[in-house]
Structure 1
């Protein structure tokens, strides 16, 4: 763009963001300063609730209706705070654009992606119709690497993968060649290989187009090579800032040091060689029927799990890894007899392949499941004490209310929560606390096997570490067996003593954790490991 790298195109001074609530004013951002220079990448890092997203939403005029921003945010000498909606619309979407963590919630499901990408071109670019914008839309789809753009331009969002939808959001953001792209957790919900592709794309586009990027994230592994400078936020304040390498090599603030040390560590020892097998599947198959009917023609048969065999021993953790759609979660549910399947399934030496609901009922307490999103699995109408003890009403109906309350107190203490909070509701807790509640609900029944389905993927890295430590402590205390399903390989390595790698419903490789991570044999496994070990190689690979 011909500008000096020492110039500042966005200068934020004394920014405050507050929200009016029933409990009074909540200050989300407190007197923060940021600078963004042409063509650089600035990372804003911190845990959930630190104020990093609200800082950028404020300057974009996108705060919730009960939100208020004060202070200064100057873009090329234009003050954005307090700017009229009409004038602000000339800046956002053209000069400053934003992409979000979950593109499916940002894209309109009723409109084709071509029409949605054309909207900023029509609104800001002076074009009169989608037909006039079509050549530029195709150009943008090619730019962001969407395959077969002539066909995909007429696709709906649900017809694209998560990575393709994020590419569409990037195309929309780039439509009018912005000065600044704000990327708010754009890769958190993506598989590690897709994450690497999206980050490589952003670095390449930045180099080609000369735009600045403000990258909001809680993943410091991404930040180290992607960002030029870093601002660390905690409780609405900037606690440290500096050049990326300096901040990583010599962090000054205790909070920054804590974030840098938050990677899950340690290695799980395997169970004894003679440990009994608790849960076993032989040639397990799960097939879904899609479509079909009188007018729809023949249904499509999708084999989500294809003849998989697995044996989980007492005290063992088997990590199941693979990209979205590989069949990981489907396999876990099939082994718990929560989905119909073919093949043989044995639990505790007993064949449960054809067991009906009544036969399975007494076994349910011994086979528990913890989900990725605890908020979605916890009833908003029940106190957490009621949530945790709900299973006891089914499996131990003779217990008195007093005994159930005593068991809830024990379970909450075991997962590191204050039992005094058992009369609160799920929405009153943080994401990490809600996941502890979900774990307490599982362990109160004293299970033998727990299937953990992406239990840490929605959590901050520091909270992930706490949950991993908790799960390992509980496993040791109760001799639990885990099936740990995840696409986060750092967490899988810390949790598992055996790994199964899945792709398109099949096992492509399996073995002890150290063997899979240190010496993978299959090309697909090597690709997964390479993306996880150095997800940021894209920075050096991007054209200059």
Structure 2
């Protein structure tokens, strides 16, 4: 057996919080060998990501690490920044869980790819540009040369994640740390990315540390698996052995966790709460003379949707298919053509001021919770922000009470409401975002990949929570996801989108078990392989 390229011993990570020190990682030991893939799995808050952030010297300002993380004989814990920068970004790179917070919104993605290539490889801008375009092509970003000029907000969530993968692999590192790298990707692109990463790993002899909650991905890509819980490694074994004979009770729970049950369809007589008829969304790509006659991109093309009270419509399709754009158009967050009605009222031409009093009726939970939560506000302030706008007359005590109630409903301890978003795991931040939406008791909630950052156990809890809230309050959901197992458990009607068009719709049984279209069959095959 080869010597470890990275050896972690007695690693501890502690955060100073308003409630006192909080130990996130409790003296763990891990080895990573050249050419292998170590999967680190566990529920949200188990310490997976913070372990690797400590190795990279990227802990938040209130965090501190002790112990050793030895890369080729050099301990990275406590290493001066100048020396650490010679390792990270070149020898060890990391793909982060939330790409929108890792990409600078002020610069085109091409610039953000080119600069680290030039710095670490010592090559000129033209050569670095060619390398960046090559990497975007490798990770299946469409029209890579044109996308070099795009800003992060102009890309879909899946495309932004692929940019991050390209950035991490461009310098051919010794170790790639991948923190939920396929979270934002649909199932067909996920399979392509995993195949791409495996191919690059084999060619480069690169080691990978794969942090994920998706055990299907672990089965396909990992050599060994380390299972973490409450900051400790509870089990470690070769992948086949761990799945065939898990020794820890917690590991067995993870393996068998899956959203269960099916949603009964709503009655045909249930009132319509939101509808869109022949919705079209076009984006101006620019390029015309004096701003006129530029290229137009049709993101949504003549799509109609009817959402009834108590209904959940699942919207599925590849990244960039128009799922999120359609939902934002229905909420009047994007300009569109076609007719939109909310509870019988025609809101097609409503401007920002006209929509403001209606916003409490239509809430949205974003795909990237960290990007939608203000880092300057504590959790209690974030959750009650909508109450200040829509119910300004209630007392601060009542706001506190309702914030505590919302946190309990989404499975968070109300005593944590004085903490800030960076002090929570990705899964916990998603629950905060859900609490912020449901505190206003809206009629419609758009859930844009609400479980993508969550491990299977927490996914199951969130699915049950959303069902309970729906039954209790008669909520209607537009549920956007690439996780078809979760969609099956949540939705009573499914829309399948491709290239902005609606290609198929029907009940979950119709769409998933007997799809009519070749594209839908391909999606299902990739999801349930």
Range of TM-score over shorter length: 0.7 to 0.9
CA offsets 1:431-468 (integer angstroms, 9 cap, x no match): 55555555455445544333223322233433222211
Give, in whole Å, the separation in 2 of the partners of 1:93 and 1:424.
31
The corresponding residue for 1:267 is 262
For the structure 1 residues 72 and 501, does the alpha-carbon distance in structure 2 shift closer, same or farther, using more than 3 Å as the test?
same
For the structure 1 residues 349 and 146, does the alpha-carbon distance in structure 2 shift closer, same or farther, using more than 3 Å as the test?
closer
The corresponding residue for 1:250 is 245
* Bigger Cα Rg: 1
The corresponding residue for 1:117 is 117
Give, in whole Å, the separation in 2 of the partners of 1:100 and 1:357.
34
Is the 8 Å Cα contact of residues 113 and 156 (structure 1) preserved in structure 2? Answer: no
* TM-aligned CA deviation for residue 483 of structure 1: 1.4
| Secondary structure of 1:346's aligned partner | strand
Give, in whole Å, the separation in 2 of the partners of 1:439 and 1:60.
31
Q: How does 1:18-37 map to 2 (within 5 A)?
A: 18-19=14-15, 25-37=21-33
- The match for 1:189 among 180, 184, 190 is 184
For the structure 1 residues 316 and 117, does the alpha-carbon distance in structure 2 shift closer, same or farther, using more than 3 Å as the test?
same
Is the 8 Å Cα contact of residues 112 and 156 (structure 1) preserved in structure 2? Answer: no
- The match for 1:491 among 482, 486, 495 is 486
Give, in whole Å, the separation in 2 of the partners of 1:386 and 1:309.
34
Residue 455 (1) aligns with residue 450 (2)? yes
TM-score of the superposed pair, with normalisation by structure 1? 0.80
Is the 8 Å Cα contact of residues 9 and 36 (structure 1) preserved in structure 2? Answer: yes
Is the 8 Å Cα contact of residues 492 and 507 (structure 2) preserved in structure 1? Answer: yes
CA offsets 1:253-276 (integer angstroms, 9 cap, x no match): 233233223332221121234434
| Secondary structure of 1:345's aligned partner | strand
Give, in whole Å, the separation in 2 of the partners of 1:466 and 1:246.
28
Residue 235 (1) aligns with residue 230 (2)? yes
- The match for 1:42 among 31, 38, 44 is 38
Give, in whole Å, the separation in 2 of the partners of 1:496 and 1:264.
12
For the structure 1 residues 410 and 118, does the alpha-carbon distance in structure 2 shift closer, same or farther, using more than 3 Å as the test?
closer
- The match for 1:51 among 47, 52, 55 is 47
Residue 283 (1) aligns with residue 275 (2)? no
Q: How does 1:325-336 map to 2 (within 5 A)?
A: 325-336=320-331
Residue 372 (1) aligns with residue 370 (2)? no
- The match for 2:317 among 319, 322, 345 is 322
- What's the Cα RMSD here? 4.0
The corresponding residue for 2:524 is 529
| Secondary structure of 1:318's aligned partner | strand
The corresponding residue for 1:171 is 169
Give, in whole Å, the separation in 1 of the partners of 2:288 and 2:276.
33
Give, in whole Å, the separation in 1 of the partners of 2:89 and 2:389.
54
For the structure 1 residues 479 and 425, does the alpha-carbon distance in structure 2 shift closer, same or farther, using more than 3 Å as the test?
same
Is the 8 Å Cα contact of residues 45 and 425 (structure 2) preserved in structure 1? Answer: no
For the structure 1 residues 139 and 329, does the alpha-carbon distance in structure 2 shift closer, same or farther, using more than 3 Å as the test?
closer
* TM-aligned CA deviation for residue 488 of structure 1: 2.5
- The match for 2:496 among 497, 501, 514 is 501
Give, in whole Å, the separation in 2 of the partners of 1:506 and 1:458.
27
Instruction: Give the number of aligned pairs.
Output: 520
Question: Which structure 1 residue ranges, 5 or more long, are not aligned?
Answer: 535-544
Is the 8 Å Cα contact of residues 365 and 395 (structure 1) preserved in structure 2? Answer: no
For the structure 1 residues 374 and 59, does the alpha-carbon distance in structure 2 shift closer, same or farther, using more than 3 Å as the test?
closer
Give, in whole Å, the separation in 1 of the partners of 2:195 and 2:511.
25
| Secondary structure of 1:275's aligned partner | coil
- The match for 2:221 among 226, 241, 247 is 226
| Secondary structure of 2:170's aligned partner | helix
Give, in whole Å, the separation in 2 of the partners of 1:317 and 1:491.
12
For the structure 1 residues 479 and 201, does the alpha-carbon distance in structure 2 shift closer, same or farther, using more than 3 Å as the test?
same
- Bigger CA drift: 433-442 or 444-453? 433-442
Residue 302 (1) aligns with residue 297 (2)? yes
* TM-aligned CA deviation for residue 491 of structure 1: 1.8
Give, in whole Å, the separation in 1 of the partners of 2:382 and 2:176.
45
